[in-house]
Structure 1
Amino acid sequence: MRLRPSTAVRLICLTFIVLLFHCCYISCQRSDGALTVVDNPEVNGLDTEDGSEATIEEEDIKEDLEVVHPTDQWQTLKPGQAVPSGSHVRLNLQTGQREVRLGEEHLKYWTQQHSENEDKQPFINPDELKKAMKKIKEDLNINKDSNQKESVSSQFRPLDELKKDMAQLDLLVETDVQILRRLLNQFNSTHVTEDKLNILHELEYMVHQVDNAQNLCSMGGLVFILEGLNSSDSRLQESSAFVLGSALSSNPTVQVKAVESGALQTLLTLLATTEHFPVQKKVLFAVGSLLRNFPFAQQHFLSNGGLQVLSEVFRGDGNGSLRTRIVTLLHDLISVKEQISKTSVDSVDPSHEERARQYSRVSLDKELVETNWCSLVPQLLDSSEHDYREKALQTLIVMAPMCLQQYRTDRSLMTSLTRLKTLYEEIVNKEKTVENSQTEYFEEIVELIDNLKIKIR
């Protein structure tokens, strides 16, 4: 069979390539000029020309082998020489000699100018760096503090300069006692109503503090306040009653001195005679402050016809505001007395026993029935205000033990309770259909009505 010329050329080239690889294989066998690889701790593989990794077994390595130190340039290997692991080895087909240079990793290191001969960068100790950063931060804080001090000092004057200026102006810092004494002296020396009203306004602000109220009494301030209550000017009456009520609130010392000075009789007289609504409101505030938690004053109140005076004010009140204040006061007096009497049985505290003994002398229940309060309080249920109705229901419940017989025979009371229960149940049901509506308040009123009905049965 005859081959075409092109086919013959191809066979000749293929035969040449096979012979060439065979020669290379023979030359790489172990001989006196064999190539030996020594371990390099930095690189684990041996790179070939095409970038693949070649593995060379270490057999019978001689201890006196000459190790070549490759560079970034190709250099010829002599027979018997060894190369470090990771070096790049090739066979030069033109010369038939083996050549070696640095591996890819080492070569990259050299191309980035990290050779042994280049100038090394200065080493920075981490501890020294931390100290330097800390010093910079401290310097910044010092500068910041100094700037803040300078800004503050520019805004405020030194204390010594202020003292000198105050001394030149003859300014004095007054204590509360000195202020009270000065105000009382001014009140006693002036005859101008506006000045007295301003003084009473300042006194009312100060006597909310317990010590100031007691100091006011010890200075004779109650005398000036009672004079204001007896004044013909309704504005002085109102302001004086306001100061007295604020001084009496939760202050037993002032309460005792007020009763001893006749303040209760003055208040009841003014309440019974005045028709000025602001005065009546402030006098009721002062009476309530004097009577609460003070059974001795309650005894004097009852003996001086206090309930009768309150009943007259209750009947004369058209809008219900004064009625609500009176009913709330009665509720508090009855509730506290009932609470003290219940806890006195198991109490071993001598002071509590003394309070219970004093309250036992207060015939509040009997006086309430005799002054017809069992019929007066239900009238507040006719009000259109929810708050007024709530206060009336609360007071009717605490008065139920003393007014039970009258409640049962009072048809108008039962009719009002039935009507109000229906009204508030409808309000509750309607509010429940509205999203985020609050029905607790109206539900509490329905509960008060049910409790009162249970007591009346």
Structure 2
Amino acid sequence: MLSVLDVLTNQKCVFVLVLCLVVFSLVASTESMDNDDVEEDNDEPFIPTNEWQQVKPGQAIPSGLHVKMDLSNGGKWAKLMDDGKTSQKSSLQLAPDANKEEEPAPNDIKGTYSIDELKQSLKKMKQEKKEASKETSEDIKSKFRSMDEIRKDFDALNLHQETDVEVMQRLIATLRLKTSDVKEKLAALQDLEYYVHQIDNAVDLFNIGGFGDVLKQLNNTDASLREEAAHTIGSAIQSNPTAQIKAYENGLLTNILRLISDSQQPIPVRKKCLYCLSALLRHFPYAQLKLYENGGFTELRNVYHQEVGETIKIKIIQLLNDLVTERQTTLLQDEDTHDKKEKLKQYERLPLAKLIKEDGWCKAIVDALQTDNHGSREMVLQAIKSIYPTCSQKFLEHGAMDAVLRIKMEYKTLSEEEISSNDPDGYYTLMHNLVSEVIGLLKNGPKAKDEL
């Protein structure tokens, strides 16, 4: 086997290899000793001969010998140079493989280090490692700043974390400033709308006096601000009874109804106002009654017959459907609670079934099936199911069966395509099932009832 010195002729590379091999030899020979201690020196002198002799652990050898290392079993051997004399030059080779014949001795090189020098360097490295390990946790902590110190620096930089109420107060201040332009106020309303989705924040909006500032924007000359104000108020009062009551007490109903009825208002403004009105009325029987007393249902009927587009018309039908469904759900509640009794008493004061029948909503709902929009159709079909007890006869008179049968054929085809593409529960299949349910209701449903 060729020695390492036959391949490596660069003096620095050889030194690195020698150092690595010596370290490996020292670690292997001290397995039974403490890992942190370097093996003790062996005082027994090493007498070199022309034959290979194993060097004992810790035993010093004269310089200028021929040395080899056994990387398989550990250990090292040394002997005199081939001329039988020691030399200032030294040689190092790896122990040969057991299955191969020993290769000739390597060439001599210059500038090598003795084993004693290497051992001293290793001992120094371990000593430095020990000293570094003695560093205490306090020493480490002293190198870093505490969280209290960091917080103080943040406070000095005025990096205070605002609460939700503080943020809303700042946004409301923007609405109050006369110097704020439309973009600033619009951004403030949009940010405010995000915060008031949370129930507590919506109530706090009233408590800090900010609701009035948002309500004023419904009268702003800029349409985008009127639209966003209605959106923000609707988000604040939706499914929030406390906010609903406070909003009604602040005159929201009349302001919103006025904008919805105004044909000069842009469609986006009227649409957001309708959203706001729906948020106010749902599960708030008192507001529903006041809408009726102020002619609100008549106004909604008039709006429906204006050129307001399909979206607003479908939203009005959806609102009626929600009010009817709300009553039916309350009536079907199992528990006979005080809250249920009070709600039913309030619902009785509003003749919703009579309004739907006399204001022409039965025909309007059937006509709405002419749309090609699948989402709008779904909403109308749901309304037919809910309002059927009131409009059963009117539905048949205005051609509801023919309209439903027509769209059933369309959804039958679309449903078969979904099923063939391994999607048996797709949207069109659900729509086909809904249409079939409505057809069955129109054919065999109960007689008309007016107890809504």
Q: Same fold (TM over 0.5)?
A: yes
Q: Classify 1:356/1:318 alpha carbon distance in 2 versus 1 (closer, same or farther; 3 Å).
A: closer
Query: 2:279 corresponds to which residue?
Result: 289
What is the CA-CA distance between 1:451 and the residue it aligns to?
3.3
Q: Whole-Å Cα distance in 2 between the matches of residues 334 and 229 of structure 1? A: 29
Q: Whole-Å Cα distance in 2 between the matches of residues 357 and 226 of structure 1? A: 31
Q: Classify 1:180/1:416 alpha carbon distance in 2 versus 1 (closer, same or farther; 3 Å).
A: same
Cα deviation, 1:316-361, whole Å, max 9, x if unaligned, reads: 3565222222222211110111222343xx6432122112211222
Secondary structure of the residue that 1:208 maps to in structure 2? Answer: coil
Aligned residues: 309
- Per the normalisation by structure 2, the TM-score is 0.62
Letter in 2 for 1:174: E
Query: 2:435 corresponds to which residue?
Result: 446
Q: Classify 1:364/1:153 alpha carbon distance in 2 versus 1 (closer, same or farther; 3 Å).
A: farther
What is the CA-CA distance between 1:225 and the residue it aligns to?
1.6
Where does structure 1 lack aligned partners over 5 or more consecutive residues?
1-142
Q: Classify 1:160/1:221 alpha carbon distance in 2 versus 1 (closer, same or farther; 3 Å).
A: same
Instruction: Report if aligned partners of 2:389, 2:446 keep a CA contact under 8 Å in 1.
Output: no
Q: Do structure 1's residue 238 and structure 2's residue 217 form an aligned pair?
A: no
What is the CA-CA distance between 1:184 and the residue it aligns to?
1.9
Identity %, equivalent residues: 33
Instruction: Report if aligned partners of 2:366, 2:395 keep a CA contact under 8 Å in 1.
Output: no
Letter in 2 for 1:228: Q
What is the CA-CA distance between 1:222 and the residue it aligns to?
2.0
Secondary structure of the residue that 2:239 maps to in structure 1? Answer: coil
- Per the normalisation by structure 1, the TM-score is 0.62
Cα deviation, 1:392-443, whole Å, max 9, x if unaligned, reads: 1110122122222322322x32321221222222333344333445353233
Alignment match of 2:414 (pick from 427, 444, 448): 427
Alignment match of 2:360 (pick from 353, 372, 385): 372
Query: 1:69 corresponds to which residue?
Result: none
Secondary structure of the residue that 1:316 maps to in structure 2? Answer: coil
Query: 1:278 corresponds to which residue?
Result: 268
Instruction: Report if aligned partners of 2:196, 2:235 keep a CA contact under 8 Å in 1.
Output: yes
Q: Classify 1:176/1:430 alpha carbon distance in 2 versus 1 (closer, same or farther; 3 Å).
A: closer
1:194-213 alignment runs, 5 A limit: 194-213=183-202
Q: Classify 1:456/1:201 alpha carbon distance in 2 versus 1 (closer, same or farther; 3 Å).
A: same
Q: Whole-Å Cα distance in 2 between the matches of residues 386 and 167 of structure 1? A: 56
Secondary structure of the residue that 1:335 maps to in structure 2? Answer: helix
Q: Whole-Å Cα distance in 2 between the matches of residues 237 and 195 of structure 1? A: 14
Alignment match of 2:291 (pick from 301, 304, 314): 301
1:208-219 alignment runs, 5 A limit: 208-219=197-208
Query: 1:413 corresponds to which residue?
Result: 400
Query: 2:30 corresponds to which residue?
Result: none
Q: Classify 1:442/1:349 alpha carbon distance in 2 versus 1 (closer, same or farther; 3 Å).
A: closer
Q: Classify 1:224/1:430 alpha carbon distance in 2 versus 1 (closer, same or farther; 3 Å).
A: same
Q: Whole-Å Cα distance in 1 between the matches of residues 177 and 418 of structure 2? A: 61
Query: 2:21 corresponds to which residue?
Result: none
What is the CA-CA distance between 1:305 and the residue it aligns to?
2.2
Q: Which has the higher helix share?
A: 1
Q: Whole-Å Cα distance in 2 between the matches of residues 450 and 153 of structure 1? A: 80
Q: Classify 1:158/1:303 alpha carbon distance in 2 versus 1 (closer, same or farther; 3 Å).
A: same
Larger Rg computed on CA atoms:
1
What is the CA-CA distance between 1:158 and the residue it aligns to?
3.5
Letter in 2 for 1:237: R
Query: 2:311 corresponds to which residue?
Result: 321
Query: 1:332 corresponds to which residue?
Result: 322
Instruction: Report if aligned partners of 1:424, 1:445 keep a CA contact under 8 Å in 2.
Output: no
Secondary structure of the residue that 2:191 maps to in structure 1? Answer: helix
Q: Whole-Å Cα distance in 2 between the matches of residues 452 and 233 of structure 1? A: 48
Secondary structure of the residue that 1:174 maps to in structure 2? Answer: coil
Q: Classify 1:376/1:162 alpha carbon distance in 2 versus 1 (closer, same or farther; 3 Å).
A: same
Q: Whole-Å Cα distance in 2 between the matches of residues 281 and 424 of structure 1? A: 30
Secondary structure of the residue that 2:305 maps to in structure 1? Answer: helix
Cα deviation, 1:230-256, whole Å, max 9, x if unaligned, reads: 112101101100110010011101100
Secondary structure of the residue that 2:317 maps to in structure 1? Answer: helix
Letter in 1 for 2:403: S
What is the CA-CA distance between 1:260 and the residue it aligns to?
1.1
Q: Classify 1:234/1:219 alpha carbon distance in 2 versus 1 (closer, same or farther; 3 Å).
A: same
RMSD over aligned Cα, in angstroms?
2.9
Letter in 2 for 1:291: L
Q: Whole-Å Cα distance in 1 between the matches of residues 172 and 142 of structure 2? A: 41
The structure whose RCO (Cα within 8 Å, separation 6+) is larger is: 2
Q: Whole-Å Cα distance in 2 between the matches of residues 315 and 260 of structure 1? A: 30
Q: Classify 1:312/1:356 alpha carbon distance in 2 versus 1 (closer, same or farther; 3 Å).
A: same
Where does structure 2 lack aligned partners over 5 or more consecutive residues?
1-132, 448-452
Letter in 1 for 2:416: N
Letter in 2 for 1:257: K
Q: Do structure 1's residue 249 and structure 2's residue 249 form an aligned pair?
A: no
